[in-house]
Structure 1
Amino acid sequence: MRSTSALALMMASLAVGALSACGDGDKKDNTPDSGTSSGNGKCPASAYICENFDNGDNGWKQPDDFHFATVTIDGSRTRSGSGAVHVVTEAGHNEEPFEPGKDEQAIAHLRKDIPQFGTKLYARAYVYLSRSSPPGVMGTYFILFSPNDNDFGGIELQGLPNGGFALDNWTGRGTGWNYQDEDPVVVKVSPNRWTCIEWGVERDSATAETGHAMAWADGQLAYDFPNVGMRPFTNFAVGYGFVHPKGDSESETWIDDLVVAPERIGCE
């Protein structure tokens, strides 16, 4: 189900099948001081990644499998400097009807290794969507992934058609999927503008099997997703696209000014 590898697709399908679709969805821990931020939006000395994409690939790895999408670093639209991640997904891909071995994703990411996840990790990027995700489909922004055979799994921050956030968990632990279920959604990502998106992942100890994950848009806390499965994540991916497209799969997205650190970065 994910754009990590064929193995990831198989394991993710097994994990999601074993987990509830939306358990604990009514719990909202939107405490204003969750993930306290310095507020300056600058790259801290502790950062694992501080990237404005002005230096080309700069150690980023292209996807190891093709999912009807392209990801490049170019200057077609930037928030700052001369480069940004540019993702284009193809139109007309539909995962339904389901067929064993069929791959109808429309998604692409760039990936980079990071130090093994301990208790806190935060990501901040500016994202420009050409459109909201299609009805009934989630768009994926960030992925944290553990490729270890004996500790395999990942979590990802997704965008909903209404501009809210979802958290997909394919670690085999905790709640399988959780989402921002307000009506209307107040804190959200809107297309055709740069939005500061932040993602915070926390657990009580470096061995805890579950924790929680927060999402912010332009500095406002959107949701605090509970009961999120944790693994020793060592890989971070950034990009966009649809794991479960329904035919309306065409999109164009730009991402710039990315920071990943063990402390919250905030928006500039």
Structure 2
Amino acid sequence: MRVAVAPGWLVVLLVSACAHHSSERPVSTGCSAPGTLCWDFEEGRLPEGWTPFRDEFSGQLLVDDTRARGGRYALHASQLVGGREGEQGGPKKTVRFQLPKDFGPVLWGRVHVYVTPARPASHAGLFNARYPRPGSQDTAFEALDWYEVATYQEKYMAIWHPPEPPGFPEWVQVSDTPLVLDRWACVEWLFDGANGEAPQAAEPRVWLDGVELQWPRRFVFADPPTQTPPTREKARDFTVLEAGVFLYQGLSTPTDWWLDDLAVGPRRVGCE
């Protein structure tokens, strides 16, 4: 399911942070909480600190004015296509961001997503956050544990991973909720890498339009297969974010995703 991917140059226009709000919509309260970071793309270019990362197969990742939840601009994964469904390798277009030092081990997030024209069957990641392994001083991207929000077999999914490559054995949770098509949907998540006195980091939690998703399918993915769940190592500080769209298997239907009003913080951000 996992493949090593070298950073590539994306066709990207840059954007401003969410302090700049259009008069066409109510100002979000998401950035008012201490420690919250948010980006609304209203300058028409990538926000400061975000850099191009993955770039495979056809399509582009850019900030444009083709569709926005509010204001004028959004991050647009445009016409992604390539590879064969059911086989490893698919279109990947992402950017990443280095979090401030001492961000902490708990990361709440929120993004509004619009997808058309079809739900991909392949694993399609939208957002992940990474942290160094316990006791390790290695902060290289490929040495970090990570949580992910994605879709799989047309439904929302969340995963905890060890470092990539290989990124498995991973703990996978698949919902019974289909990916929302042809309208904006608010996706929220909680990655609790501290988890109180528990011996492991918490499983990821995800909300859709304010309703928490349930996970009727839970399993370990590994190659070769195993039934032994990975140990979800606890976090000291989240350090890196990745956003965009990254498919680990092929995509035969050219598909567009728009991401708008992305926010993260140590407390719940909310949809407005």
TM-score by length of 1: 0.70
Instruction: Kindly indicate whether the alpha-carbon contact (under 8 Å) linking 1:52 and 1:84 is maintained by their aligned counterparts in 2.
Output: yes
1: CA distance, partners of 2:73 / 2:158: 28
Count of matched residue pairs: 225
Instruction: Kindly indicate whether the alpha-carbon contact (under 8 Å) linking 1:119 and 1:206 is maintained by their aligned counterparts in 2.
Output: no
Instruction: Kindly indicate whether the alpha-carbon contact (under 8 Å) linking 1:180 and 1:222 is maintained by their aligned counterparts in 2.
Output: no
**Mapped pair 1:106 → 2:91:** yes
1:154-233 alignment runs, 5 A limit: 154-171=146-163, 176-181=170-175, 185=176, 187-202=177-192, 203-204=194-195, 210-223=201-214, 228-231=232-235, 232-233=237-238
C-alpha spacing 1:125/1:96, structure 2 compared with 1 (3 Å): closer
**Mapped pair 1:58 → 2:52:** no
Q: Greater strand percent: which structure?
A: 2
1:119 — aligned with what? 105
C-alpha spacing 1:66/1:44, structure 2 compared with 1 (3 Å): same
Q: 1:43 is matched with which residue: 13, 25, 31?
A: 31
Q: Percent identity?
A: 23
What letter is aligned with 1:42? G
Greater shift after overlay, 229-238 or 211-220?
229-238
Q: Which runs of 5+ in 2 are unaligned?
A: 8-27, 132-137, 219-228
1: CA distance, partners of 2:149 / 2:47: 24
C-alpha spacing 1:148/1:205, structure 2 compared with 1 (3 Å): farther
Higher relative contact order (CA 8 A, sep 6+): 1
The C-alpha deviation readout for 1:12-46, integer Å capped at 9, x for no partner, is: xxxxxxxxxxxxxxxxxxxxxxxxxxxx8632332
Instruction: Kindly indicate whether the alpha-carbon contact (under 8 Å) linking 1:124 and 1:199 is maintained by their aligned counterparts in 2.
Output: yes
Instruction: Kindly indicate whether the alpha-carbon contact (under 8 Å) linking 2:64 and 2:73 is maintained by their aligned counterparts in 1.
Output: yes
What letter is aligned with 2:152? L
2: CA distance, partners of 1:4 / 1:60: 24
C-alpha spacing 1:249/1:169, structure 2 compared with 1 (3 Å): farther
2: CA distance, partners of 1:206 / 1:180: 26
Instruction: Kindly indicate whether the alpha-carbon contact (under 8 Å) linking 1:62 and 1:111 is maintained by their aligned counterparts in 2.
Output: yes
1:67-146 alignment runs, 5 A limit: 67-68=56-57, 69-94=59-84, 104-115=89-100, 116-135=102-121, 137-146=122-131
The C-alpha deviation readout for 1:120-153, integer Å capped at 9, x for no partner, is: 1111010001144323x12111011347249533
CA RMSD of aligned residues (A): 3.4
Give the secondary-structure state (helix, strand or coil) at the position aligned to 1:43: helix
TM-score by length of 2: 0.69
C-alpha spacing 1:74/1:127, structure 2 compared with 1 (3 Å): same
Give the secondary-structure state (helix, strand or coil) at the position aligned to 2:204: strand
2: CA distance, partners of 1:261 / 1:239: 19
Deviation of the 1:4 alpha carbon: 8.4
What letter is aligned with 2:203? H
Deviation of the 1:113 alpha carbon: 1.3
1: CA distance, partners of 2:168 / 2:234: 8
Instruction: Kindly indicate whether the alpha-carbon contact (under 8 Å) linking 2:125 and 2:245 is maintained by their aligned counterparts in 1.
Output: yes
Instruction: Kindly indicate whether the alpha-carbon contact (under 8 Å) linking 1:106 and 1:242 is maintained by their aligned counterparts in 2.
Output: yes
The C-alpha deviation readout for 1:140-172, integer Å capped at 9, x for no partner, is: 110113472495332211112333323252348
C-alpha spacing 1:156/1:236, structure 2 compared with 1 (3 Å): same
Deviation of the 1:200 alpha carbon: 0.6
C-alpha spacing 1:148/1:256, structure 2 compared with 1 (3 Å): same
**Mapped pair 1:264 → 2:252:** no
2:134 — aligned with what? none
The C-alpha deviation readout for 1:80-135, integer Å capped at 9, x for no partner, is: 1121000025323138766xxxxx33011222111345331111010001144323
The C-alpha deviation readout for 1:57-83, integer Å capped at 9, x for no partner, is: 121434334212421111110001121
Instruction: Kindly indicate whether the alpha-carbon contact (under 8 Å) linking 1:3 and 1:107 is maintained by their aligned counterparts in 2.
Output: no
1: CA distance, partners of 2:110 / 2:4: 21
Deviation of the 1:217 alpha carbon: 0.3
1:239 — aligned with what? 244
2: CA distance, partners of 1:155 / 1:111: 14
